[in-house]
Amino acid sequence: MPIPIIDSHIHLFAASHLDSLAWRTPGGPLDSQHSVAEYRLASASVLTDPSTTDRFYLRGFIFLETDRISSLEPENWSHALDEVAFLSRIARGEPIEGEGHQPADRSLCVAIIPWAPVLAGPSALQAYLSKVRERTATDEVWRKIRGVRYLLQDKPAGTMLKDQFIEGLRYLGRQGMTFDLGIDARQGGLWQLDEAVKMLEKVYEKDVEADETVKVVINHLCKPNLHIYHDSVLLDHPDFLAWKGHITSLSRFPRTYMKLSGAFSELHPDFKFPASTSDSPPNEEQLLSLVATRLQPWTDVVFDTFGANRVMFGSDWPVCNVRGGGNQETWLRWTKVVENLLDRRKLDEAARNAIWAGTAAKVYGIKPS
């Protein structure tokens, strides 16, 4: 039986939306349209029809908000709500010319995780989500809004511990919604992981196992310091040891999950996959093995602490393209690196199925195909 893949972390934006992206750098590597059409090209190596393959097929993707210009004040919610409307058109199969999707793409969009003003607390969340529901236009699309994200990697210390934020997370749990946690150990600082642990202690202090307790999905291994990679240095490096301790602490909360994603863009600047147009391309398999070797100490910690049933595959497309060699190569390269890592762990079929699709389907409430 072919194995389904749910890509648990992708971003989409049309050329007409570039001005509303908070992180945009004109002329930068992501300063162009990245729509479903480009994503289909990126993932073309994995077919979407299970009857035509005996290995993998792409069940669909989960969209994550793209950090549009926004703030906690309702008058500044328009760009985030426009993004919801854009994804809703994809999920309904109702394209607008120039947005880079077509009616057949509706089946690929299995879940939507928009931005939400979690820090503003339950009242603001309730008001905002009512506007999200209006923008989805149909109950079918509204049911694909499975959770929200409010990026914390660029927020000041103490943000995660504010009472309004904690109450916002509890509100999401009562609504049956997840929260995607985006923090950055390398550029933001290891203090973010320490604060995340304290935040979860507050969120889960009443009953960590309760059905209405929010599920927290941690993005990109918390963006560890992958700039350190030499075997003789890494395992004793203070950054690695601190990250390992925090990951262990985060894993102790049974309703937390980890995305195996986001690594390519975090690799040391001296590493970059060549594009397919390279005049003298190096041995592809050796490069993929090298990346897996650099990542394995970090992913071993994740598997040792979270276990395979709380880990999910994500490509972080199109951000993965930054050092991955280009849109036609990167997505497949990342899947091969993940396969390599799973092989090194000698995981059984059930564990592999969980990582490729099962965990994401369970956490985000996605129905089987």
Please give the Cα distance from 59 to 47 (Å, whole number): 9
In which domain, by residue range, is 239 found?
A: 3-364
- Whether 76 maps to a domain, the answer reads yes
Contact 314, 264 (CB under 8 A): no
Please give the Cα distance from 262 to 271 (Å, whole number): 15
What pLDDT does 282 receive? 64
- What type of residue sits at position 313? F
Tokens coding 358: 């099962």
- Backbone φ and ψ of 304, nearest 5°: -65, -30
Average pLDDT of every residue of the chain = 94
* CATH code of the domain covering residue 352: 3.20.20.140
- Whether 150 maps to a domain, the answer reads yes
pTM of the model: 0.96
Please give the Cα distance from 141 to 137 (Å, whole number): 7
pLDDT higher than 60, residue 281? no
What pLDDT does 116 receive? 98
Give per-residue pLDDT as tens, 56-113: 999 999 999 999 999 999 999 999 999 999 999 999 999 999 999 999 999 999 999 9
- Whether 220 maps to a domain, the answer reads yes
For residue 357, give every residue at least 6 positions away whose Cβ sits within 8 Å of its Cβ, in sequence order, or none. 3, 4, 5, 6, 59, 313
As beta bridge partners, residue 147 has: 178
What pLDDT does 22 receive? 97
Q: CA dist 211 to 26, 73, 117, 232, 361, Å? A: 44, 30, 23, 44, 17
DSSP code for 219: -
pLDDT higher than 60, residue 191? yes
Report how many domains make up the chain: 1
pLDDT higher than 60, residue 7? yes
> pLDDT class for 279, splitting at 50, 70, 90?
low
pLDDT: which is higher, 286 or 356: 356
- Whether 331 maps to a domain, the answer reads yes
What pLDDT does 270 receive? 83
pLDDT higher than 90, residue 10? yes
What is the pLDDT averaged over residues 178-191? Answer: 98
User: Which ranges constitute the DSSP H helices of the chain?
Assistant: 36-42, 78-92, 122-136, 139-142, 163-174, 191-203, 231-234, 238-251, 284-306, 321-324, 330-345, 349-353, 359-364
- Whether 200 maps to a domain, the answer reads yes
- Whether 187 maps to a domain, the answer reads yes
> pLDDT class for 284, splitting at 50, 70, 90?
confident
Contacts 24+ apart (CB under 8 A), 350-354: 351/308, 351/309, 352/3, 352/308, 353/3, 354/308, 354/309, 354/311, 354/312
- Whether 369 maps to a domain, the answer reads no
How many Cβ atoms are within 10 Å of 102's Cβ, its own excluded? 13
What is the pLDDT averaged over residues 4-28? Answer: 97
What is the pLDDT averaged over residues 214-229? Answer: 96
> pLDDT class for 276, splitting at 50, 70, 90?
low
- Whether 228 maps to a domain, the answer reads yes
What is the pLDDT averaged over residues 351-359? Answer: 97
The residue written with tokens 């950055």 in the block is 184
- What type of residue sits at position 133? R
Contact 259, 220 (CB under 8 A): yes
> pLDDT class for 326, splitting at 50, 70, 90?
confident
Please give the Cα distance from 253 to 63 (Å, whole number): 25
Q: Could you tell me the end-to-end alpha-carbon distance of the chain, in angstroms, rounded to an integer?
A: 14
**Quick one: what percent of the chain has pLDDT higher than 90?**
85
- Backbone φ and ψ of 94, nearest 5°: -125, 75
